[in-house]
Each structure stands twice: as structure tokens, then as C-alpha cells.
Amino acid sequence: MANLWSGRFEKEMDEIVEEFNASIDLDKRFYEVDIQGSKAHVKMLAKQNIIEENEKEEILKGLEEVRNDIEEGRVDFSYKNEDIHMSIERLLIEKIGDVGKKLHTARSRNDQIALDTRLFMKNEVDNLINELALLEEVLLKKAEEYKNYIMIGYTHLQHAQPVSIGFYLMAYFQMFKRDIERFVDLQERIDYNPLGSGALAGTTIDIDREHTTKLLGFKKTTENAMDSVSDKDFILEFLNNCSIAMMHLSRFSEEIIIWNSQEFNYIDIDDSFCTGSSIMPQKKNPDIAELIRGKTGRIYGNLMSLMTTMKGTPLAYNKDFQEDKRVLFDSLDTLMTSLRVFSKMMLNIKFNTEIIKENTKKGFLAATDIAEHMVKLKIPFREAHEIVGNMVKYCEKKEIGLENLKEEDYPEISDKITKDMIPDLSPESCVERRKSFGGTSIKEVERQIELGKEFIKEI
């Protein structure tokens, strides 16, 4: 079976080269958008009187039959057909004969694959945004559920200040919100139609690129044919966005793994999202969170892989570009699956609020509150900072908490301390005092939750 491009060649491809050269194992996933693009192209050819109306109808009918054959599993994709474009064209010719050979008029596989990738990504980026939005809804639900419960806020993984659990969860909401915004922004750069660019320099045939742009639902048409067939920036941007989103999932997974440890015991992960040990009967392992954390490195690798591929490729199209689909599909599938499983896991996580509350008694969480209260009493902050530092040092030696200090202790710490310098040191009061915009007070968390709900509605 000769290749559709074999006219110039005297020898057939070596079988091992033929298999190595093929991309059908990957790009068969493009069959739907490839047929969509072909239909728009053939309609444009007929509009421009490049083919006859009856030929257009015959090709459209044939393409629909090819689609049905693929969807019903009647097509055995072989590497002998090289890629999805050649496979569909060959199947079409087998069905309708020589008129099928007109489909590729004024078109190259170079602009065809660029088109397929953009059409495919338009759909899949929408799906990713929806999946991220579902995770955001889970976080909003959990934040609302736990907005009145106190936990420890950390810096350097050391006790820092008390915050509400809802506030903590809304911090992650903001991360995933930025992810959504990045993917929405990316859609602008995906939404260009490259069809009609040809191999690299356009075509001598009188085509109408704006017509296919409208038929395919693109906002704009690419400006330069050479750039159109060699542009992978939008894929690199997609891989970058996937990497950042996976990094956010990985950070959250790391916290879940830590919180799930017996040393912390801050959360209870539902049994259906954990595994056991083959030897230790007592184990309940947070494998889902660990897997997501592990898969993040794979997503990073995909980005670096394509960046490396692209750095040495001259204009215009090069066979190296075939490697883009492997990393594109893998990053897409990995992020999509990770988001789905993480959302379900998060929905079924319970916070052990009493254990967390007990831990807020450690670590001098109210130290900053005392310093800031002193500032309100006109004591310079740096001086207040030093006084409170001495208070903490004194408490450590006495093995007591700040709330256990008595008036008779003050002179041993500093002659400047008075009773009115010490505010209510309960975690609840510390949280409620932080009413600054973006702070952890209950009212502020409620405001953040409401804004989050509005954001999700607008997606």
C-alpha cells in the first residue's frame, strides 16, 4: 500500500522507519476535529468554485461515513497510514473514489495538524476550566462549613498565627482561581485559524480563509503562514499552565499528607481515598495525595521536554513537532484526572477540629497580637516586638503560655509592661481582630466566600 505522498520516491519506506515515523497511535485522538476541519475546508472550496457543489456533498457524506466507522470501531488504525490525516483521507478515497482526492486541495498536513491541535485544545481547555471550577465549588463548600473553626497558620512550618480553617481553604481557592484565569487567557491565543497556510507560504489557489474561520468558530485568522505551521507557543503556554495548576495541587496534597499524619491528626481522609499496607494491618495511607504530588514532576517534565524540542528548530515545520502531542495529551489527561480525584477526596475530608483547637495552645500564636496592641497604645512597633520577644523567652523558661502570665511576672520581663498592654489572647479573639481586607476574621472570610461564588457563576 503506497503512501499518498509517494510519487517522488522510488523505494518504499523501510518497515522500521515507517513505524518510527508514524504518529497515528497518538493523533488518532484528533479524528473528530480533523473531520470537522475537513468539512469546513471542503465547503470553502465549493464556495470558491474550486470544486463542484455535488463533489462537496459527496465528500461531506463520505467524511460522515468515515466518522461513523471510527466511532463504531470499524477502523483499525495502522502505522502504515502514518497519521490521522492520511488515515481519514485514505478511508474517504476508499469510500467515494477519485473525488475524495480533491479534499486535500490548497491544504497541507502542516496547516491541518495546526488546525486540529487548536480545535482540540479549544474544547479541552474549556473542560479543564470546568474541572477547576468544580474543585473551587468544593473549596467554597468546605470553607463555609469550617469558617468558624480555628486552626494554626504556619510560616516555615512553625506555629505563626491562628486563622480560621475557612480562611486557609480560601487561600487555595485563590491559587486555583488564578489557574482558571490563566487558562481563560490562553483561550485568546488558541482561538486563531491556521487553515489555508499550506505547507509554509500560503497557496496559489483562490481560497477564502475568513470563511473557514467563521465556519470553525474561530475569532481570528493567523497572520503569517510560516508562523502558523511552526507555532507551538500556545501548547507551551498550556503546558506551563498545567504545571502551575499541578504545583498548586501538589502543595495542597503535601499539606493533606502532613495533616493526615498521626503527629498532626488534623484531618480524617475517607477510607475510599486511602490504601492499606500489605504487611502492616494498621496502616491507612494517603496514596491519592501522594500520587498527585508525584505526578507533578511528570507534568514539569512535559513542559521542559517541548521547550527543549523547540529551542533548536528552524522555520518552518519540522518532524520534531510530532513530539508535541505526547506531552500535550499526557499533561491534559494527568491534570484532568488529578483534579477530579482531588475534588472528590477533598469533599470527603473531615477536619478534627477539637484536636486542631488543642494545638493552638502551643507556639505562642498570640505574640503578634500583643505587639500590635502595644502599637495601638503608641509604643513603636520595633520596641513592642522586642518586649514581646522577651515575654516569649520568659514563658519558654517557665514552660507556660503567654495567656498564663501574671502581673507579678511583668517586672521580670520589662519595666514597660502594664496590664492594659495585654489583649484577649484566645485564638478566637486573635482571629476576629484581623478585620483588615483579606484577613482571617469571620466577616472577611465570608466576604471572600461570596466573591468566590460570584467568580464561579461568571465562568
Provide the annotated active-site residues.
156, 277
Burial class (CB in 10 A: 0-12, 13-18, 19+), 345: buried
Distance of alpha carbon 392 from alpha carbon 364, whole angstroms? 7
Residue type, 312: G
Distance of alpha carbon 258 from alpha carbon 41, whole angstroms? 55
Per-residue CA distances from 280 to 258, 262, 268, 283 (Å): 20, 15, 19, 6
- Note the maximum CA span of the chain: 102
Give the N- to C-terminal CA distance of the chain in Å, as an integer.
Answer: 50
What residue spans of 217-323 are helical by DSSP H?
225-230, 233-260, 287-310
What residues does 220 pair with on adjacent strands? Answer: 192
Burial class (CB in 10 A: 0-12, 13-18, 19+), 44: buried
Full DSSP string of 373-389: HHHHTT--HHHHHHHHH
Nearest to 296 by CA among 325, 326, 269, 331: 331
Whether the CB-CB separation of 129 and 179 falls below 8 Å is answered with no
Q: Could you count the other beta carbons within 10 Å of the beta carbon of residue 112?
A: 26
Cell of 55: 463533489
Q: Which helix (H) or strand (E) holds 193?
A: strand 192-193
Burial class (CB in 10 A: 0-12, 13-18, 19+), 145: middle
- Taking the CA atoms of the chain, what radius of gyration do you get in angstroms? 31
Q: Which helix (H) or strand (E) holds 84?
A: helix 84-96
Q: What crossing angle do the helices spanning 165-190 and 233-260 adopt, rounded to 10°?
A: 170
